[in-house]
Amino acid sequence: MSTPSVVSHDIAQRASHVSVLLIDVDGVLTDGRIVYANYGDELKFFDVQDGAGLVFWNRVGLKSAIITARTSKLMKRRAKEMRIDFLAQGRLLKLPSYEQMLKRFRVNHEQVCVIGDDLMELPMLHRAGFAVAVANAVPEVKAISHYVTQRAGGRGAVREVVELILKAKGLWEQVLQRYQ
């Protein structure tokens, strides 16, 4: 996985202030496909590098959150595996959960990076200090985002953003030291 070698001063500045990463699920943490099995079980496909990136994020002491419109048992399980600090499911209107997360973590908008792909994330993206659209996001989300990933949702976009922020904050070397 690689992040862009050169990001603008504005992007680096915004990223350096982030202490909470808030992500959507369908279309961001997954590729957006939902598969139903014969007995109604729901399947989603997650990228292992996105998951590893979120574990790295947690290890350096930063907070993570998921706010999603859908509700599923498997998302609760995946969030636990990735050490997500705040999970809100079944939220068609995401802004109240976003405000709750700000209070819980005692942070302001400038300290939040929101990664989204669709219209439901617009209110959070408008407020976030670092608004990110995945490569496959709808045009309205891309238009208001500070950064658009090179990778698509469910295909390493979250990991790309994690690396970009950790590098901007000077924390990437701390992650690498564990594996040297």
What domains are there in the chain, each with its CATH number? 9-177 (3.40.50.1000)
- Alpha-carbon gap, residue 51 to 49, rounded angstroms: 5
Q: What is the mean pLDDT of each run of 10 residues along the chain (180 residues)?
A: 72 97 94 80 84 95 96 88 94 96 98 98 98 98 98 96 97 92
d(C-alpha 111, C-alpha 13), whole Å:
11
Looking at residue 2, what is its pLDDT?
A: 53
- Please give the pLDDT value at position 5: 59
The C-alpha atoms of residue 167 and residue 47 are separated, in whole angstroms, by: 21
How far is the C-alpha of 22 from the C-alpha of 115, rounded, in Å?
6
Nearest-CA neighbor of 158 among 65, 90, 44, 33? 65
Whole-prediction pTM: 0.92
Spell out where 17-155 has E strands.
Answer: 20-23, 35-36, 42-43, 63-67, 86-88, 112-116, 130-133, 147-148
